[in-house]
Amino acid sequence: MKYLITGGAGFIGSNLARYLLGLGDNITVIDDLSTGSFENIKDLEKNKHFKFVLDSILNKSVLEKLIPSVDAIFHLAAAVGVEYIINNPLRSIEVNVQGTENILKIAHKYQKKVLITSTSEIYGKNEKDSLKETDDRILGSTTINRWSYSNNKALDEFLALAYFNEKKLPVVIVRLFNTTGPGQVGDYGMVVPRFIKQALLNRNITIYGDGEQSRCFTHVHDVIKAFDLIMGSKKCLGEIFNVGNPEEVSINELAKKVIRLTNSTSKIEHIPYEKVMGANFEDMKRRVPNVEKIQEFTGWKASADLDTIIIDIIDYLRKTGV
């Protein structure tokens, strides 16, 4: 198979490229390196089945050249990370909305299957015990930048489903719940690698807010297996799937786990949200995925628990240097 991965120099995209190359597929990556890094794909450059294009999904002429020659598209390119989105609201809207529209429009022209990566941010402030794909979205005011991202990605989903229903474009949507693992950086608000790096350096682990908010974390290798299963299944077309690990942990407990597993002397420090995110910020207390649908359709289930994820990142950072 020949695949195009948008945002393929990012954390998830580069891992996906490496996995698909291992299966013998031909991979083209397009990335503008705004949040991705060439270092993530440097080891792939010598592979004759790999091609890297330094450009943006906002450039329709480049997409017109790339999309006809592939069998399917993994659309991962997006403005990501809560901190990045808050600090770059206009860029986030342009990339997440216009970029996805470009992909869908040209994919439709050549009838190429598309996997759209969406986000658990779709659910907003819905703090239900186990969030299903059909659950309501609960959002705050338009004056709060965080909810812009949720609406951007919701518009991506509406666009994708409209192309599926009206134009019969083969599309599938996945909503990711805090994907993490070796190689991820904490530059854009990714909490697990940030905590581990602080712990390995025996610095204070900085928690935003009171730390009682809880989250669920999924190993990137599990996410990629889900992508592979979904992309290969005809019955998944036109559907939305949560992809996540339902193992819930408070951020305080996460910090304690990291300290224990790194054998660190770090202390926990709580920082008010407004000092990091500004006064105009909202967060939610919990966000837990219901993954019954993806299990029913594909048999997928996350295999790595949180301890395994943390240990994998620790080992990676110790080998590569913190």
User: So where are the chain's domains?
Assistant: 2-180+219-246+287-303
Q: Which CATH class is domain 2-180+219-246+287-303?
A: alpha beta
Q: Read off the tokens for 182.
A: 């070796």
User: Please, what is the angle between helix 146-167 and helix 100-110, to 10°?
Assistant: 10
CA distance 313 to 22: 22
Do 269 and 208 contact (CB within 8 A), yes or no?
no
Q: What is the pLDDT of residues 71-85, one digit of tens each?
A: 999 999 987 766 777
Residues 300, 289 contacting (CB under 8 angstroms): no
Lowest mean pLDDT among 28-37, 140-149, 200-209, 312-321: 140-149
For the record, the structure tokens of 78 come out as 């997006």
Quick one: three-class SS letters along 219-257? EHHHHHHHHHHHHCCHHHCCCEEEECCCCEEEHHHHHHH
Q: Tokens 């990370």 identify what position?
A: 81
Q: Among 260, 250, 277, which residue's Cα sits nearest to residue 86? A: 277
Q: Provide the pLDDT for residue 81.
A: 67
> How many residues are listed for the chain in this entry?
322
- What three-state secondary structure class fits 177? coil
Q: Which residues contact 65 (CB under 8 A, 6 or more apart)?
A: none
Q: Residue 270: beta bridge partners?
A: 207
Amino acid at 223: V
**The pLDDT of residue 314:** 97
Cβ distance 312 to 219 under 8 Å? yes
Residue 22: CB atoms within 10 Å: 8
- Spatial separation of the C-alpha atoms in residues 267 and 189, rounded to whole Å: 20
Q: For residue 246, give both structure tokens.
A: 């339902």
Pairing outcome for strands 72-75 and 113-119: parallel
User: Tokens standing for 82?
Assistant: 């809560």
pLDDT tens track for 127-166:
999 999 999 999 999 988 888 889 999 999 999 999 999 9
d(CA 122, CA 268): 30
Position 15 pLDDT exceeds 90: yes
Question: Partners of 218 in the beta sheet?
Answer: 179
Give Cβ neighbours of residue 216 (< 8 Å, ≥ 6 apart). 177, 178, 244, 245, 246, 247, 248, 249, 287, 288, 289
CA 317 – CA 184 distance, rounded (Å): 10
Give me the catalytic one of 3, 84, 149, 163: 149
pLDDT at residue 44 is higher than 80: yes
pLDDT above 70: percentage of residues in the chain? 99
* Amino acid in the structure at residue 202: N
Query: Measuring CA to CA, which residue among 147, 123, 128 is closest to residue 282?
Result: 147
Pairing of strands 50-54, 26-31: parallel
Q: How far apart are CA 54 and CA 36, in angstroms?
A: 11
Question: Confidence band (pLDDT; 50, 70, 90) for 65?
Answer: very high
- Confidence (pLDDT) at 229: 98
Catalytic residue at 110? Answer: no
DSSP label at residue 96: I
Cβ contact 148:266 at 8 Å: no
